[in-house]
């Protein structure tokens, strides 16, 4: 599982029929300290996340398992909303 922050929403009036009814969000991958890791990705929201929320997302075959329609062409899916983070980071 990976962490990200939702930075936007995607509206696609024409899309694969297996994606009809899904909410597409732009998710910025982040490190545990909140620093940006790479380019934003489009994720399918399965938990009701909103812009500005830190989320847990999965990619690849795990993402397609997160939705009810197993035929949907999904590469990344939000599977949790992060309420808080606790712990220490390793490093010098």
Provide the pLDDT for residue 89.
67
Does residue 53 sit within a domain? Answer: yes
Does residue 14 sit within a domain? Answer: yes
Task: Print pLDDT tens along the chain (92 aa).
Answer: 999 999 999 999 899 999 988 999 999 999 988 899 999 999 999 999 999 999 999 999 889 888 888 888 999 999 999 999 887 766 65
Does residue 3 sit within a domain? Answer: yes
CB 59 within 8 A of CB 71: no
Which range of residues forms the domain containing residue 13?
A: 1-20+32-58+68-77
As a whole number of angstroms, the distance between CA 61 and CA 54 comes to 22
User: Which helix H or strand E contains 54, and what residues bound it?
Assistant: strand 54-59
User: Which helix H or strand E contains 70, and what residues bound it?
Assistant: none
The candidate with the shortest Cα–Cα distance to 19, out of 57, 82, 79, 63, is 63
As a whole number of angstroms, the distance between CA 35 and CA 20 comes to 33
Does residue 86 sit within a domain? Answer: no
Q: 11 by DSSP, 3-state: which? A: coil
Domain count, the chain: 1
């Amino acid at each position: 599982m990976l962490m990200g922050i939702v930075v936007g929403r995607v509206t696609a009036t024409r899309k694969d029929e297996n994606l009809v009814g899904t909410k597409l969000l732009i998710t910025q991958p982040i490190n545990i300290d909140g620093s940006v890791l790479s380019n934003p990705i489009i994720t399918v929201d399965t938990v009701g996340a909103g812009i500005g929320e830190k989320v847990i997302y999965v990619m690849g075959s795990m993402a397609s398992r997160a939705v009810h329609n197993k035929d949907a062409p999904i590469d990344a899916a939000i599977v949790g909303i992060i309420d808080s983070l606790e712990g220490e980071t390793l490093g010098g």
